[in-house]
Copies of this chain bind each other. A is one copy, B any other.
Amino acid sequence: MALAHAILVALLDNPCSGYDLAKRFDESVGVFWDASHQQIYRELGKLEADGHLTAETIEQDGRPNKKIYEVTEGGQGFLQEWMAKPTGIRTVKDDLLVKLFAGHMVSRDLILEELENHRQLHEARLGEYRALEQQFLSKTDGLTLASRFQYLTLRNGLLIEQSWLTWCEEAIAYLMRLGRQGE
């Protein structure tokens, strides 16, 4: 049920519209959560109905009006309550690993292509995360407390993406070696 909480922490850091939230879920917030605009709008409606958010409509000319959402005190309490309850660790779900588990069902080349494709995707994402890290590291006058916590979430993304990259390379090398042995 953490989509609601993910939205709240994002808005707490920086109040914005649903549209902007969707963009942030594609960028920085995306390091730890992902959501489509459809989900976001629905959830924003619920959170507002529950009193966890207030919306202020900004009239704009030349482009559609927008609603800026802000977390209420009630919303902050709701978040803090949730944060005080321990949670378990994630459950992995990855299509590529499902495919690999039955890798002997298809040609070696098909599997290698898919691995190479994923390697590139993870490499690209790692690059994005490194760019985000530079933004943190370049602030010479020191980070705020809030930024330091956000930095830790980014560090997680960096370590995990690095592992994926390493694993893709290892898997490709392993299968190439198998291939050469004529299996």
Residues of A within 8 A of B (CB): 2, 5-6, 8-10, 12-13, 29-34, 76, 79-80, 82-84, 86-106, 110, 113-114, 117-118, 121-122, 125, 145-146, 148-150, 152-153, 155-157, 159-160, 162-164, 166-167, 170-171, 174-175, 178, 183
Contact = CB atoms under 8 A, between A and B. Distances in A.
A89 B121 contact: yes
A32 B105 contact: no
11 contacts: A9-B98, A9-B102, A13-B101, A32-B92, A83-B110, A87-B99, A89-B164, A92-B157, A94-B156, A103-B149, A160-B163
Report, nearest first, the 7 A-B pairs whose CB atoms are least far apart. A32-B97, A34-B91, A103-B149, A9-B102, A87-B95, A163-B163, A159-B163
A171 B145 contact: no
A66 to B, nearest CB: 24
Given A83-B105, A89-B121, 18 more contacts: A5-B98, A5-B99, A9-B102, A32-B92, A34-B91, A86-B117, A89-B118, A89-B122, A89-B125, A100-B149, A101-B150, A102-B149, A103-B149, A145-B178, A145-B183, A159-B170, A160-B163, A160-B167
A80 B110 CA distance: 11
